[in-house]
Amino acid sequence: VSRIVGIGLDVVDLRRFARLLERHGPAALRRICRDGEVRIAEGPGRIAHVAGLFAAKEATMKALGLVEDPCDWRHIEVLRSPSGACDLALHGRVREAATRLGAESFALSLSHEGDYATAVVITTIHETTP
């Protein structure tokens, strides 16, 4: 059976996030995203896309109990399957934290509505029943 060991939720205001990207441009993207992670290069959907990635990374840190000890956002990678489903790949210190927690699988859900992007991450471990 699976048991939930962590849950994280994050909401990003797209207007504030747009200002962050305007102010810091490529530097902001380099600090938040891994190479190839940003799939929308230009256009109005780009801000919502990157804000969703950021929300997913913040939600992952919360689910892993890293709020008081945040990590490099680039150590959390948001993957997309051809069907559009989201998944996570963890690297570096975030992966170590997940291992310590015993987290074996992750569920990520992203949503955009109006001026907000949201993400929920649930981490689970698998237990065998006696």
Partner 1 sequence: MTDSTTAARTDSIRRILKEHGRLSVNAAELADDADLYQAGMTSHASVNVMLALEGEFDVEFPDHMLRRGVFESVSAIRSAIDELVRG
Interacting residues with partner 1 (CB under 8 A): 12-13, 16-17, 20, 23-24, 27-28, 31-32, 58, 67-72, 75, 92-93
Query: Smallest gap, in angstroms, from Cβ of residue 21 to partner 1?
Result: 10
Look at strands 116-126 and 86-90 and give their pairing: unpaired
Find out whether 103 and 64 touch, Cβ atoms under 8 Å: yes
Which is closer to partner 1, CB of 6 or CB of 124?
6
Residue 88 C-beta: closest distance to partner 1, Å:
18
128 vs 38: CA distance, rounded Å? 38
Nearer to partner 1, 29 or 107 (CB): 29
User: Under DSSP, is residue 29 helix (H, G, I), strand (E, B) or coil?
Assistant: helix
7 bridge partner residues? 122
Shortest distance, position 49 Cβ to partner 1, whole Å: 17
CB-wise, 28 or 125, nearer to partner 1? 28
Backbone angles phi, psi at 67, to 5 degrees: -60, -40
- The 10 Å Cβ neighbour count of residue 121 is 27
Name which of 95 and 125 has its Cβ closer to partner 1: 95
